């Protein structure tokens, strides 16, 4: 039914990278704070515009701008939690509603500072790589390769951190049983802050990459939010590894839609949801089987 087209796979990997980076933070927040954070997409946009300001206005090299964008994402995430979510000390529904308000505030601030026009990073790298054209027969540019490569590095670093560092183990312990974590002596408030930092930084990186792959717009993150939710739910809510797997699948499906005959390409987001529902029918707790972030 679906013809194997390496071009679509390449496109899928780029889109998946962006979704994976966004999904991880969404899943972490779901895990530790127990609510779907509707501001997470707009946090991606904050990161994208942060990098734009550092690169475009201040003239720093692009890699520096990406890292700065990630720092901005982390700081904004932590501050939002400290100023809004934590003091509310409320249930999931209240926090969800509040997060919609936070999303609107992020977006309004971006529009006020940067306007509503679409913008792009002035970094080149848009011409297809000849070697890829000749050997694989696909049109892929340096930007796309960089997005995939950096995402792999970030995801690999997160995995190493979770498995082999004390903070990572404390994060997994806190996610498995917060009260036993405190009983063991873990300062869970610090662990929670670390999770917001990681989620915020990765979201910002995803935002920058989305801006690099398409355009930078204040609505960019909000538009991708539903796809992120699909990835997180598919992976198994609250599981980091599930979010990675779910992001990969959803991103792929999203870009492979053109290969399905009859179905118009603009149904790609709908198809992603259909796939999500089909997989959940078979495996109701998601790909990671409802396990925590271990």
Partner 1 sequence: MSVLEVRDVDSGYGDMQVLHGMSLDLHEEEIVCMVGPNGAGKSTVLKTVFGLLEPWSGTIRLDGEDITGMAPEDLVRRGMAYVPQVDNVFPPLTVEENLRMGGVAREDPGPVIEELYERFPLLDEKRTAKAGSLSGGQQQLLALARALVVEPEVLLIDEPSAGLAPTIVDDVFEDVRKVNELGTAILMIEQNARAGLRISDRGYVLDQGSVEFEGNADTLLEDPKVAELYLGG
Residue where the block lists tokens 């670093």 = 157
Q: Residue 96 or 294: which CB sits closer to partner 1?
A: 294
Q: Give least dist CB 91 to partner 1, A.
A: 14
Q: Rank residues 171 and 212 by Cβ distance to partner 1 and give the closer one.
A: 171
DSSP structure string for 83-134 = IIIHHH---HHHHHHHHHHHHHHHHHHHHHHH-SS-B-------SBPHHHHH
Grouping H, G, I as helix, E, B as strand and the rest as coil, residue 226 is: helix
What value, to the nearest 5°, has the Cα angle with vertex 219 and ends 198 and 235?
A: 45
Tell me how far, at minimum, the Cβ of 185 lies from partner 1, in Å.
3
For residue 170, the minimal CB distance to partner 1 (Å) is 7
Quote the longest CA-to-CA distance of the chain. Answer: 60
Closer CB to partner 1, 99 or 239, in the complex:
239
- Tracing tokens 């290969």 back to the chain, one arrives at 259
Using CB under 8 A, list all residues that contact partner 1.
166, 169-170, 172-173, 176-177, 179-188, 291-294
What would the two tokens of residue 12 be?
Answer: 């899928």
DSSP type of residue 259: G
Q: Give the shortest CB-181-to-partner 1 separation in angstroms.
A: 7
Q: Which is nearer to partner 1, 215 or 294 (CB)?
A: 294
Question: Least distance from C-beta 79 to partner 1, angstroms?
Answer: 24
**DSSP character for 3?**
P
Whose Cβ is closer to partner 1: residue 257's or residue 292's?
292
Cα–Cα distance, 47 to 50 (Å, whole number): 5
What is the three-class DSSP state of 216? strand
**Token representation of residue 253:** 């499906």
Give whichever of 186 and 227 is closer to partner 1, judged by the CB atom: 186
Which whole-number Å values give the CA distances from 65 to 46, 148, 176, 196, 291, in the listed order? 13, 18, 35, 20, 36
Task: Fill in the DSSP letter of residue 177.
Answer: -
Question: Of 113 and 187, which has the nearer Cβ to partner 1?
Answer: 187
Which letter does DSSP use for residue 158 in this model? Answer: H
In the complex, the smallest distance separating the C-beta of residue 228 from partner 1, rounded to whole angstroms, is 24
Length of the chain: 294
Report in angstroms how near the CB of residue 191 gets to partner 1 at its nearest: 10
């Amino acid at each position: 039914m679906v013809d194997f087209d390496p071009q679509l796979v390449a496109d899928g990997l780029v889109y998946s990278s962006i979704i994976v980076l966004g999904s991880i933070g969404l899943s972490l927040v779901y895990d530790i704070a127990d609510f779907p954070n509707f501001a997470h997409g707009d946090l991606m946009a904050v990161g994208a515009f942060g990098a734009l300001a550092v690169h475009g206005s201040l003239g720093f090299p692009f890699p520096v701008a990406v890292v700065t964008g990630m720092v901005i994402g982390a700081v904004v995430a932590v501050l939002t939690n400290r100023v809004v979510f934590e003091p509310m000390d409320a249930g999931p529904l209240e926090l969800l509603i509040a997060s919609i308000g936070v999303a609107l505030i992020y977006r309004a601030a971006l529009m006020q500072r940067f306007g509503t026009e679409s913008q792009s990073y002035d970094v080149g790298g848009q011409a297809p790589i000849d070697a890829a054209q000749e050997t694989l027969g696909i049109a892929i540019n340096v930007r796309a390769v960089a997005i995939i490569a950096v995402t792999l590095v970030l995801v690999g670093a997160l995995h190493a951190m979770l498995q082999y560092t004390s903070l990572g183990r404390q994060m997994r312990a806190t996610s498995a049983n917060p009260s036993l974590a405190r009983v063991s002596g873990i300062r869970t408030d610090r662990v929670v802050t670390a999770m917001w930092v990681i989620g915020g930084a990765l979201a910002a990186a995803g935002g920058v990459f989305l801006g690099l792959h398409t355009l930078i717009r204040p609505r960019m993150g909000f538009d991708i939010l539903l796809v992120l939710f699909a990835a997180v739910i598919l992976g198994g809510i609250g599981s980091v590894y599930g979010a990675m797997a779910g992001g990969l699948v959803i991103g792929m499906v999203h870009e492979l839609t053109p290969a399905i005959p009859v179905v118009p390409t603009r149904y790609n987001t709908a198809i992603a949801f259909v796939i999500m529902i089909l997989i959940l029918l078979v495996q109701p707790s998601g790909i990671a089987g409802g396990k925590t972030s271990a």
